[in-house]
Each structure stands twice: as structure tokens, then as C-alpha cells.
Structure 1
Amino acid sequence: MRPTSRIGPRLLGATVGAAAFFFAVAAPAAALPGPLVRTDNGPNPQVELHSYCAAPGQTGHLADGTTVYCSPVSGSDTFAWSYYSEPLPMDPNTINYNCDSGSCAYPDGSQVPLEQRCGIQCGEPPTPGDVDNHMNNSRR
């Protein structure tokens, strides 16, 4: 009967070892918090493109995650969320024309001259100045 008396301690040791391994692996995973959910606006709040903001230099993000910047509006003391940090040539909230993916037109259907458009910063098709400025800046 001697051989069976050794099985008991081995079985007990294996059981204790398995339990220790289970708790070492499973318990920390169960204690991990779930995904971080931000309940405040934090330093990079979700904003609406072109809505007014408090001061230049702030960054925010759109619902799709795109980073936007609080940019000064040229010739005024206001600031608006824009794709770029450079000053906006005009207040995008007061533009009296509409744009689609290819062009911008006044309500009467006439085309808006390039020099009177806000361009990429206002969510419009790019103007030649937009393309040139941002292509050159990306090469620096």
C-alpha cells in the first residue's frame, strides 16, 4: 500500500498548483478596468467645425476624430474651429454661398470667385492658395 499513499500528496500538490496558476492568470485580468470612457471635455474637446471658440491655440476634435484648431478670424476679434491653425480669411459662419464637392455658388447660382472664398479652412473645395500653401508646408 505504500505506492498509493504517495498519490495523495502529488494530487494535492497538482490541485494547489493549478488553483494558484488560475488565480495568478485570471484574477488580474478580471480586476482590470473596462475601456476608459471620457465624461468631460478634457483638453481636446469634441467640437463642431466653424463654431466659435474662446482663444487661438486650443485644439479640439470633430465627431469623426479629425483634429481642429481654434483659429483667429481675420479682421475681427473672434475665433472659430478650423482644419488649420492659420487665421481664417473670413468668418465661416457668415458666408453667403454654398459649396459642394467641386465648386461654390451664390444663391442665384453664380460661381464664387476664388479670391472671395474661404477654402479648405471652411470645409470647402480647396483654392489654389490652399493647395500651394499646404503642399509647401508639408515639405518643410
Structure 2
Amino acid sequence: MLRPGERGVARRVLLGVVGGVTFLAAMFATSAAAPLPSDSGSAGSPDGSTVTLNAYCEDHGAVGHLADGRTVYCTQVQGTDAFVWSYSRNPIPRDPNTRGYTCDSDACHWPDGTVVPNYQRCGILCGEPPTSGDKQSGLDDCFRTGTDFEECERRIR
């Protein structure tokens, strides 16, 4: 039989062991249930096919690849429930599929043929010709070298 002082020590040891085991169990359960990071290499589609820049997607955080090999991410359009394939993991400011204009390799035009001012365009982020801001910041030069969009953004900050 334990003496009164020994019972208190035994109780504290038992509580410490139970608490430690509980902590470890919770830690392993949480890590096992945690989602994979968005750069985990998960394919953009189950069959490994390529995805299209600006196309709607459903698997937020998924990683895909364009036909040219560039990496894109299924990211949210700010203020909406829409997700699109984008060069950036960060939410994009507007839905590129609802633009009221079209672009060719040199410029973007409204339906009446007038040029869309750069400040009203998305630019490189949406697969459009670069805006003056994209050029002046060096983003355009960096991106043309084949560097990932996010790395180019990091470099110019």
C-alpha cells in the first residue's frame, strides 16, 4: 500500500502519462487528417491531362499544368464562389471569363473596337498581353524567361 505522499506522486505521474499519450494521439490524428499542401503535386485533372488558363475549376488549391508546361492553381475569384485556373495561388481580383472585351497577342479591345485601357485589364495574370504595369515592374521580362508567375511577383516586390 502506498503512503499518502507517495499516492500524490503516483497520481501526478499517471496524469502526466495519460496527458502525454492524449497529446500524441491528438497530434497524429490531426496530421493524418490534414489536407495536402497546394503544391503537393496533385494533378489538375484525374487523368493527368492539361488544363486551360482561366477555365473554371472545382478543386480549390489543386495544381495543374498548361499545355506549355507552366504550373497553374485552382484559385478563387475575389468576392465570388467561382474558382479558375490561374498562375497565382492568391485570389484574383476579377473573373477573367466575364470580361467584356477580347484580346489578341498585342492588345485588348472592347466590342466597338476601342482599345481597353491597361488599368482596366488583368494583364499577364489572366493570359492577356502585358499591361504597362507588368512591363514597368519587370514582371513581363521575368515571366517571358519561363519563370513561374509567383516567383516573378516575389522578385519585383
Shorter-normalised TM range: 0.5 to 0.7
Structure 1 window deviating more from structure 2 (82-91 vs 101-110): it is 82-91
1:123 corresponds to = 127
Query: What is the aligned length?
Result: 99
Describe the SS at the equivalent of 2:115: coil
Instruction: Quote the residue 2:155 is aligned against.
Output: 138
CA distance in 1, matches of 2:138, 2:58: 26
Q: Secondary structure at the match of 1:93?
A: helix
Alpha-carbon RMSD across the aligned residues, in angstroms, is 2.3
130 and 74 in structure 1: CA distance in 2 versus 1, 3 angstrom threshold: farther
Change (3 A) 1:59 1:130: farther
Residues 136 and 73 from structure 1, CA distance in 2 versus in 1: closer, same or farther, beyond 3 angstroms?
closer
Identity %: 54
Aligned counterpart in structure 2 of residue 100 of structure 1, from 92, 99, 104: 104
The separation in 2 between residues aligned to 1:126 and 1:63, in whole angstroms, is 20
- Of stretches 98-107 and 121-130 in structure 1, the one that deviates more from structure 2 is 121-130
What is the rounded CA distance, in whole Å, between the counterparts of 1:103 and 1:86 in structure 2?
25
Q: 2:120 is aligned with what amino acid?
A: Q
| TM-score computed with the length of structure 2 as normaliser | 0.54
Q: What CA distance in whole angstroms lies between the structure 1 residues aligned with 2:156 and 2:118?
A: 24
Letter in 2 for 1:123: G
Change (3 A) 1:79 1:133: farther
In structure 2, give the amino acid aligned to 1:119: G
Unmatched tracts of structure 2, length 5 or more: 1-40, 45-49, 140-151
What does residue range 9-48 of structure 1 map to in structure 2 within 5 Å?
43-45=42-44, 46-48=50-52
Judge conservation of contact 2:138–2:156 (CA < 8 Å) in 1.
no
Q: For residues 58 and 103 of structure 2, what CA distance do their matches in structure 1 show?
A: 27
Aligned mates of 2:153, 2:96 — CA distance in 1: 24
Q: How far off its partner does 1:64 sit?
A: 2.4
Amino acid across the alignment from 1:43:
S
- Provide Cα deviations, 1:27-65, integer angstroms capped at 9, x if missing partner: xxxxxxxxxxxxxxx822321111112244221011222
The 5-angstrom pairing of residues 56-67 of structure 1 reads: 56-67=60-71
User: Where does residue 76 of structure 2 map in the other structure?
Assistant: 72
TM-score with structure 1 setting the length: 0.60
